[in-house]
Amino acid sequence: MITYEHLTLYLERDRLKLLIMRKDIQQKLKSLPELLTISQVAEIFSIHQDTLRNWEKDGILVPLRVGKRGDRKYRPQDIETIVDKMGSKLTLPQLESFLWKSADILRGKIDSSDYKKYIFGLLFYKRMSDVWDEEYNSVLEMFKDDNAKIMLARADYNHRFQVPKDCRWDKITEHAENIGQKLNEVFDKLTNANSPKLDKIFDDLDFANKDRFPNETLQKLINHFSQYNFGDTYISSDLLGDAYEYLIKQFAADAGKKGGSFYTPREVERVILSILKPHQKDHIYDPTVGSGGFLLESYDYLKQKSGEKIARTLYLYGQEQELATFAIARINMFLHGLDSADIRRGDTLANPQFLTQQGNLQTFDIVVANPPYSIKDWEYEAFKNRFGRLDGYDAPPDKNADYAFVLHIIKSMNQNGRAGIVLPHGVLFRGGAEARIREQILKNDLIETIISLPSKLFYGTGIPAVILILNKNKSEEKKNKVLIIDAEKDYLEGKNQNSLRPQDINKIVKAHDGYQDVDKYTRVVDIKEIIENDFNLNIRQYIDSSEKEEIINVPEARKEIQIIKKELAEVDHQVERYLDELNY
């Protein structure tokens, strides 16, 4: 039997399926009376009755009201209206708006920095359930033997995720009381049914607190998500993934300073990946993965360059310490259809998760990161004594972890490895242990490019940042040289956040690829000059991007002023003469 909620969010290529489903509905309606009750309509379309009531409030539906109680009766034209409503294709902006409205339901109930994890959890749950239904119905349509096909349709190997019968979305819509407790039970069962794939993803969710989540609020949230189907056939991974990324960005903006801990602007990630240029079958690692943006940008870059089939050959890895952010990253990968991405939880500096069988740090073709800036409270002793990250280098200061992340990344690069790291400007010129580490990195000829970015690009901080491009296998013409790019002045100014425009990104990437001097923008600096400057990499020491002051010739300027005064006097005299002639 076809589930009629599958009429929602259909893609362009599924218009034929929509026509077939319309015919199927017409066939089903032949066995029913001409006027249908609200419960009958809700069952046919597998939607909640409150969804029908909401469409009535919005003027989309106008059913008949009969009898003393004014019971709703739905006519054939009402059914056609529902089909059109559910079959209407949502654009990306419409989907983004729909998902953001779910946050409006929770806004004011819980802290803005917290409610993102609940929205993301419910969205992912709805996606899982709808995909399961879709896979189930797909198998049913392939076989004629009723008994055999039902067993096959339920078989684990026919499903991307396992969704037990009492965990299906339609079951949660039936609950009017203790919805929060039921959701908690559902998430526990989903985790167990899909272990280890979904381990820890729902651990930070607790809907059972009735002060934060009264039944009325949860009912609104469930009804909101029930309006549309989020199955694979009707909303692609790309579309849903893009909408999810939009939500992450909106939540980051809403959270202010806390937003920077889990979100890096995609434009900055695009700069780095356009420079590093992932190849087929590259192993790409983000030790501070946040919401997973760098890994997705790696996939998107190769997909645009070589197609989806080649992009799916990438091996993606990430580690994240915060539980809620870890869950966001995992869900982000799943919603984009990147189930094989290996995201693990833990403190990268104290307890890195990606190790070889011999217990050494695993190495990668590309490492990308936007680590937390200048954190003072970090596991200094654990870092210093494990995995050989200080081999050939001084220990970073115990009250600043910036270079700890840099050294971890260097150790995680394979012999041909490249890396792109976003860091505060201070790493270029601070003294003490950091100066010694900087000198050692430069003497090892690992820094290929330094890019100075505009201010206010990142949530939670107005300070400008820099990108370090590292390369363990520089080409011959780049050896013992560092390209410095001053991109601070090229951006689109925003009210709260600035952003990089496509032309700004292209300019940076073109400058890196060209690797030559451009007046007031780039300089290829020889290591000898850097040594003369005591390994200080302050951008202003190498590029003067200030506008030259115009040299004024004072005697000539005075002559021009005298000429102008004489001309003004003549004009005044002429005006006075005209006024006299007019008797004024």
Domain boundaries 240-540, CATH class: alpha beta
Six-digit token pair at 539? 């951008």
The pLDDT tens digits of the residues spanning 276-332 come to 999 999 999 999 999 999 999 999 999 999 999 999 999 999 999 999 899 999 999
Cβ neighbours of residue 234 closer than 8 Å, sequence gap 6 or more: 6, 8, 9, 10, 11, 14
pLDDT of residue 566: 84
**pLDDT, position 396:** 97
Chain mean position to CA 16: 33
Q: Where are the domains of the chain?
A: 1-89, 90-235, 240-540, 551-584
Q: Which DSSP helix (H) or strand (E) runs through 416?
A: strand 413-424
The alpha carbon of 362 is separated from its chain's Cα centroid by a whole number of angstroms, namely 26
pLDDT confidence of residue 108: 77
Query: Are both 1-89 and 90-235 of the same fold?
Result: no
Cα-only R_g, the chain: 31
Question: Which residues on neighbouring strands pair with residue 110, listed in sequence order?
Answer: 107
CA distance 487 to 466: 10
Give residue 191's pLDDT: 96
pLDDT tens column, 80-113:
787 766 655 567 888 888 888 888 888 877 776 6
- Which DSSP helix (H) or strand (E) runs through 283? strand 283-286
CB 412 within 8 A of CB 367: yes
Quote the CA–CA distance of 477 and 473 in Å, as a whole number: 12
What DSSP letter does each residue of 336-403 carry, written as one string?
A: TT-TT-EEEES-TTTS-S-B-TTSSBP-EEEEEE-PPTT-SSS-HHHHHTSTTTTTTSPPPPTT--HH
- Chain mean position to CA 371: 16
The rounded average pLDDT for each run of 10 residues, N- to C-terminus, in the chain (584 residues) is: 35 46 64 84 74 82 89 86 66 84 84 81 93 86 71 84 93 88 96 95 91 90 87 80 86 63 84 98 97 95 95 97 92 92 97 96 98 92 93 95 97 98 96 97 98 88 89 96 96 88 96 95 96 95 75 80 86 80 73
Strand, helix or coil at 118? helix
Residue 342 bridge partners (DSSP): 317
**Residue 6: its pLDDT value, please?**
35
Between CA 419 and CA 441 the distance in angstroms is 13
Which tokens in the block code for residue 533?
Answer: 């400057």
Determine which helix (DSSP H) or strand (DSSP E) holds 451, and give its type and residue range.
strand 447-452
Global pTM value: 0.80
What is the reported pLDDT for 14? 47
Query: Phi, psi at residue 509, to the nearest 5°?
Result: -65, -40
What does the block give as tokens for 363?
A: 């190495």
CATH topology of domain 90-235: Ferritin (1.20.1260)
CATH topology of domain 1-89: Multidrug-efflux Transporter Regulator; Chain: A; Domain 2 (1.10.1660)
Helix, strand or coil for residue 159?
A: coil
Distances from the Cα of 1 to the Cα of 11, 123, 137, 155, 566, angstroms:
21, 25, 7, 18, 96
